[in-house]
Amino acid sequence: MSATTTISDWIKAPVTLDGPDEFAIGDVHGCREQLDSLIQTMAGEAPAGSCLTFLGDLIDRGWDSLGCLRLAARPAGDLGFGECHVLFGNHETMMLWAMGTQDDEQQQAFRLWTDNGGWAALESFGMGEEDYDEFGPLTLTEPIRASLGEAATLLDRLETHRRTGNLLFVRAGLHPKIPLGRWFAGDPLRPVINENAHFAWIRFPFLGFEAEFDDGLIIVHGHTPEDIVQAWKERRDAVLHRLDGWRLGLDGGSYRTGTVAGAQFRNGGYRVFTASGPI
């Protein structure tokens, strides 16, 4: 069964852009058929020069992490856009930490990744559990990059965030009390001690923040499935992926729902794209 994509009506919102339309895609988690359908549908709706931003978590849990990375690594023009940007997801940070560590840290990094869906990615790279002993891999970098081929360059150009007009694209969110410059400073691959102090992991206080952000920013993010957020807020009949205060969440819970969500933005509004298919 292949994936199909639906598009909402345009929704009025205080979006201001500096250029052509902007598109964003939330958590994918190896759901390649959904990602392919979403990109093709978006490209068919995109004015010339539009930009596409992937919000991270292309990998893990789903069956085709390799295919998702290869698709996102293709040139923007091949995908039907003027530009493409890919943000660090927390799952990409776990993989890269596991690839980059040695000695005592390696087992810790490897276990963190594989305990959070990394085995699915490794299997898509052709690397099964039988290839590793109880102490973790001797090396990950060479076989993963070899499996990715030319797409391995994607791992070297991941971004922490992207701002255009009053849209700020980020993996998980912001801390309302930390200045943006400090929030995105430092090594994105540092071990996560406090998830609410890291741009790729934060949930609170960001998800509960309802005041206006500085400069009227609209924060477009993934990381926490919107059905879970709305349940936390006791909005059980809420329409998902709608502007909530000054944030727009695009995590469709792909690994368990089969839905990958995205959005298109232009001056004065946005509309939501959802691709549903097999998991």
> How many other CB atoms sit within 10 Å of the CB of residue 9?
7
For position 227, which CATH number holds? Answer: 3.60.21.10
CA–CA gap between residue 235 and residue 55 (Å, rounded) = 25
Of 28 and 137, the one with more pLDDT: 28
Q: State the total domains in the chain.
A: 1
What are 148-176's pLDDT values in tens digits?
999 999 999 999 999 999 999 999 999 99
Whether residue 130 lies inside any domain: the answer is no
Distance, CA of 32 to CA of 135 (rounded, Å): 31
161-164: strand order across its sheet: 161-164, 167-170, 218-221, 247-249
Of residues 31 and 134, which shows the higher confidence score? 31
Does residue 26 belong to any structural domain of this protein? yes
Residue 117 within a domain = no
Tell me the residue type at 262.
G
Task: Specify if 9 maps to a domain.
Answer: yes
Which amino acid belongs to residue 126? G
Residue with tokens 């919102």: 13
Residue 184 lies in a domain: yes
Is the residue at 185 inside a domain? Answer: yes
Q: Quote the tokens at residue 84.
A: 């493409």
pTM of structure: 0.96
* pLDDT at residue 136, rounded to an integer: 53
pLDDT tens readout for residues 220-233: 999 999 999 999 99
Indicate the pLDDT class of residue 117, thresholds 50, 70 and 90. very high
Q: Which domain holds residue 65?
A: 4-88+152-276
Omega prior to 225 cis, within 30 of 0: no
SS (H, E, C) the chain: CCCEEEECCCEECCCCCCCCCEEEECCCCCCHHHHHHHHHHHHHHCCCCCEEEECCCCCCCCCCHHHHHHHHCCCHHHHCCCEEEEECCHHHHHHHHHHHCCCHHHHHHHHHHHHHHHHHHHHHCCCCHHHCECCECCCCHHHHHHHHHHHHHHHHCCECEEEECCEEEECCCCCCCCCHHHHCCCCCCCCCCCHHHCCCCCCCCHHHCCCCCHHHCEEEECCCCHHHHHHHCCCCCCCCCCCECCEEECCCCHHHHCEEEEEEEECCEEEEEEEECCC
Give the pLDDT of residue 227: 96
* pLDDT averaged over every residue in the chain: 93
Note whether residue 100 is domain-resident.
no
Note whether residue 141 is domain-resident.
Answer: no
Which is higher by pLDDT, 211 or 102? 211
Alpha carbons 229 and 247: distance in angstroms, whole number = 12
The whole-number pLDDT of residue 66 equals: 98
